[in-house]
Structure 1
Amino acid sequence: LPRPGYVPSEESRLLVLTELLERKAHSPFYQEGVSNALLKMAELGLTQAADVLLRNGANLNFEDPVTYYTALHIAVLRNQPDMVELLVRHGADINRRDRIHESSPLDLASEEPERLPCLQRLLDLGADVNAADKHGKTALLHALASSDGVQIHNTENIRLLLEGGADVKATTKDGDTVFTCIIFLLGETVGGDKEEAQMINRFCFQVTQLLLAHGADPSECPAHESLTHFCLKSFQVHFPLLRFLLESGAAYNCSLHGASCWSGFHVVFDRLCSHPGCAEDESHVDLLRKAETVLDLMVTNSPKLQLPGNFDIHPVGSLAEKIRALHSSLRQLESHPPPLKHLCRVHIRHYLQPWPVDAKVQALPLPDRLKWYLLSEHSSPVEADI
């Protein structure tokens, strides 16, 4: 008998396990028992014991009778990357979906920042980064939908998936895109807790940067799925993000059908004309100032102005004249060929993309007067806005 306080070594434990399996090999409950044991080893991350079980007949496809997860799903949920690799090396289907939620191991790994090691291991082992469930939801869309911007920040998961080739154009059968979650979260910030709103805004900004860097188009239709359109509608609230989008080259009209589908100019002036205000109303003055900045960004990033058809406005209130003057100046710009200096300005700003363009302009070895012209006329440091 072992002496009191004796702790058996891992080697001796494995030896005992092997002997036990050999003794029970002819039991009618052997297959179920050894496969159930594999689920527990996957949960605990005991790779050596799992290896013994697999070599003695444990079924890789055995499902937990309650959750219907396999050992591979459980290893991911418990963030056991070494166990994930062991199971895959033994032949586990790396892209297998569970019967209840239709989730693949990669989907589960993408949903929590704590599972980042498993996500990396699955990608290294060749998991299909663009595999979709019956609803069309990919791992990237899972990572986005699982993020709330406050407690769950899947920024690094999203980065890994994008670097692994995740398709930024993935769309579910319900029409959800990579921007659906961001639009929803930004909508939740209005009227909510200020500290939480700041966290959500920061998360959405970081994720949008990642998505645009990998080719996502925030200006595609339909309008309700367009991040650019959403930010234009609430430019006073989401001004920093909108500025980032425009300075990163996002189209201010529908990028698929042009101004006939939706136009940023229409959206901005509709917002201005729906806010009667008065000259002493600080919120309206701020609204007008930010509208001027947004319109200027549209102009400075466009070789040829694209105003929508039937671009008529009917402003009211004490600031109506200023709004009409703004509208008239755009009409004049559209009716004349763009001057050479404007084309040079647009070309240089495009060359300096992506954001922050103004910071790069300031670093150019040019006279201050030229820098001032290259800058967005009403701009202020974006970092301060964020």
Structure 2
Amino acid sequence: MRLAFLLFKYFPHGGLQRNFRRITELALERGHTVEVYTLSWEGWAADHPNLTVQVVRVPGWRNHTRYRQFARRMQDDMAVSRPDRVVGFNKLPGVDVYYNADPCFIERAQARSPLYRLSGRYRVHAELEHAVFRADARNHILLLSEAEKPLFQHWYATPDDRFHSMPPYVSADRFAAESSTARGRKLRSDLGLDDDARMLLMVGSDFRRKGVDRSIRALAALPDGLRERASLYVLGKGRSAPLMRLARRLGVAGQVHFLQGRDDVADFLFAADLLLHPAYQENTGTAIVEAIAAGLPALVTANCGYGFHVERAGCGMVLPMPFEQSAMDAALLRMLNHPHPQTWHDAALRYTERTELGARAEHALQVIEGPRYGEAAA
């Protein structure tokens, strides 16, 4: 099949981008031709005879303006090139399959100022979301978070049969193995952390949305002695300057480390004492299931789509919503003082054995390779 994959931006360490890459690689392994159209491409050489990447140039200074122009350009281009399937990794009109990595935009917008709903950004994102989820659209939707389905259906009356639930995706290197403990110890040694140090970890781009400020505040709220032995390591892409200003104001700047995107994330998962994921907004939270696969206990907020995995596994704590900083502060202290943290580690690995955590690309391609919505199977 000749597949067209459309996404706004590709960069190496984003959760959506990693899933896009795995689906692309599996499609190529199966003999498909993949044509990628994007506004920005960074960090993947993509050297394969059946893969082409076209960086599309469109006018506009603001992201939402460029997204609208990209959407219009793609509708015109797809009408001419007529690939077998058009797959959108962002909300775009005219796709055959949409990979739903983002939460319901219009639902989240209701909590914002009425003036925001008059803005150009709101109009563009609402327009793109409506194009995908409206009741009479003829596309499949790869649903990453079951919690979002009723929200989309509330606003758009999207039929049930267009949704296809996807399992989490955890890359093979994140799963605990015989070498994991040694790799974790080596990384701790490289970072200058002794056995008594407490290593807190956050993984993910868009630091504000992931709640890095909440983690910094919780770190600063730890009692003397424990606070001095704790450090927070943040891996991903985002603006760290305002968060470092917060850390300096709270007196923990020397214990907060932004390392940007890394290729050795697995070693950090094996080395850390605790994953923190107190997100303001999170459709899924791939880092949460990666931590479970690695045997790393987690402290997460209940609004994370994958937060229920921590609850089911019994490998950490889930903070209720609405979020309260004092509740996170108390939970972090409780977890760091837990007398038997190994029980969380063991529970995570038991859960990994009985739960499908690595086959999302295979499930996605079953839908992509299948008939278009409304067509009978061949």
Q: Under a length normalisation based on structure 2, what TM-score does the superposition of the two structures give? A: 0.26
Greater fraction strand: 2
Q: Which has the larger radius of gyration?
A: 1
Greater fraction helix: 1
Return the structure number with greater relative CO, CA threshold 8 A, min gap 6: 2
